[in-house]
Amino acid sequence: MPAFDFKIEKQNEECLARLGEIKTRHGKIKTPVFLPVATNASVKALTSEDMKSLNAEILMANTYHLFLRPGLEVIEAFRGLHKFMNWQKPIMTDSGGFQAFSLGFGIEHGVGKISNIFPDEAVGGPKPKGEKQAFVSDKGITFYSPYDGKKIFLTPELSIKIQQTLNSDIMLVLDECTSPLNDYDYTKQSLSRTHKWAEQCLKAKESDQALFGIVQGGAYKDLREESSRFISSLPFDGIAIGGSLGKSKRDMHNILEWTIPLLPEEKPRHLLGIGAVEDFFNSIERGIDMFDCVSPTRLARAGFLFIHPSDGGTMKNKFRIDIGKSGYKKDDSPISESCECYTCKNYSKAYLRHLYMAKELSYHRLASIHNVHFFLSLIEEIRKAIKEDSFFELKAKWLNF
């Protein structure tokens, strides 16, 4: 039996949406799937037990952060992340490539994965600019540890070695995540580096963990096509689409439309770092099987709580309420009347608002539980709709087309 397998259970006839099942060494995952992000081996404000209660099927953990802290010798003592964080279901690990961007160009220019030149894409205003902490060369990425200033040189081989120690079920190749502000020439040059690293990662792998390649190429059609073909030609277990996804959601859709038809049908496709209601519908429709994003927990901490269309959620309000608003001061109803989560079953908006205003730590957990539950339930609803051939009805219900 292979340590990793993917089978397509149903293909939608009108679009690229599909149902599938991924088999890993730690159990099966139904796709499309959303991976909550446990950057430091903990989904922020939640425990592994919370994630089990929320029926999360797989988590994403962070190679770069865990390499710095707690460090490999600690993870080695536990023979991997699963035992360390008491999580027995599948884990995917990123490669550290995204941090080359977020701690490099991203921090220097104050931009995110989708450029926040467009104010409506920004969460909580523009990112603060700061001093670059990551530098990319053909050989790898040089980081300076924020804890002790120590220099770390992350090569494709080291990224695989770390991920083997983390013993994740699905690893990602080291790539350079370019910025929406990078020009064609830089992006092209970066792409050839990323492709070389992809081959090095494959060569370096010594375990039976799955390894996904990453398609890069910024918002440039020919580069995305070139990358799709190249990454598809290599024996990866799945393919991720990463990097700058353009300057707007429309750019992102273009990138998916250029890329996905060139990818092998039989491999799962992961859209890295993306997660918003409309992104799920628009990306699954275009053939994406997997998502990961910090947004449910990050937005929860910032006071934004998700609501279903039946509770008034719309594209306009981004399917969320701002719990800090004074209108909720005496509101004794839950965030959502129909929601089955622990938070909605037990606490009112007024109480959550109070905890939020009083900066109580318990707020973060209750808000994060609700938002993660919302994301996981939405994906489940989408899976059900694909199964029942009602994907477009569900999309229309949510996005009001």
1 part of the interface to a second copy, by CB under 8 A: no
143 part of the interface to a second copy, by CB under 8 A: no
Considering only residues 343 to 382 of the shown chain, the ones binding a second copy according to CB under 8 A are 346-348, 350-351, 353-355, 357-358, 360-362, 364-366
Is 251 considered catalytic here? Answer: no
Q: Of the candidates 29, 33, 41, 260, which one interacts with a second copy according to CB under 8 A?
A: 41
70 part of the interface to a second copy, by CB under 8 A: yes
Q: C-alpha dihedral over 187, 193, 198, 201, to 10 degrees?
A: -140
Distance CA 268, CA 265 (A): 8
Q: Of the candidates 17, 19, 29, 45, which one interacts with a second copy according to CB under 8 A?
A: 45
Distance CA 279, CA 291 (A): 10
Distance CA 38, CA 86 (A): 12
User: What is the greatest pairwise CA distance in the chain?
Assistant: 60
Distance CA 383, CA 387 (A): 6
Considering only residues 82 to 101 of the shown chain, the ones binding a second copy according to CB under 8 A are 83-86
User: By the 8 A CB rule, do 26 and 48 touch?
Assistant: no
Q: At a CB cut-off of 8 Å and minimum separation 6, what does 342 contact?
A: 53, 366, 369, 373
54 part of the interface to a second copy, by CB under 8 A: no
Stretch that binds a second copy, among 25-33, 252-260, 279-287, 327-335 (CB under 8 A): 327-335
Q: Which tokens in the block code for residue 27?
A: 């159990």
CB of 35 to a second copy, least distance (A): 18
CB of 80 to a second copy, least distance (A): 12
Residue with tokens 């523009």: 126
329 part of the interface to a second copy, by CB under 8 A: yes
How do strand 18-24 and strand 27-31 relate by DSSP bridges?
Answer: antiparallel
49 part of the interface to a second copy, by CB under 8 A: yes
Catalytic residue among 50, 185, 292, 311: 292
H or E stretch at 361? helix 361-387
Is 183 considered catalytic here? Answer: no
Q: Of the candidates 33, 35, 46, 166, which one interacts with a second copy according to CB under 8 A?
A: 46
Q: Which is nearer to a second copy, 42 or 164 (CB)?
A: 42
395 part of the interface to a second copy, by CB under 8 A: no
Q: At a CB cut-off of 8 Å and minimum separation 6, what does 83 contact?
A: none
CB of 76 to a second copy, least distance (A): 9
Q: Of the candidates 330, 338, 384, 396, which one interacts with a second copy according to CB under 8 A?
A: 330
First and final CA of the chain: distance in angstroms? 44
Distance CA 139, CA 162 (A): 17
H or E stretch at 241? strand 238-241
Q: Which residues pair with 22 in a beta bridge?
A: 6, 29
Catalytic residue among 50, 94, 279, 289: 94
CB of 365 to a second copy, least distance (A): 6
129 part of the interface to a second copy, by CB under 8 A: no
Residue with tokens 């064609």: 184
Number of residues that bind a second copy (CB under 8 A): 41
- Which residues bind to a second copy, rule: CB under 8 A? 40-49, 65, 69-70, 73-74, 77-78, 83-86, 329-330, 332, 342, 346-348, 350-351, 353-355, 357-358, 360-362, 364-366
Q: Active-site residue numbers?
A: 94, 292
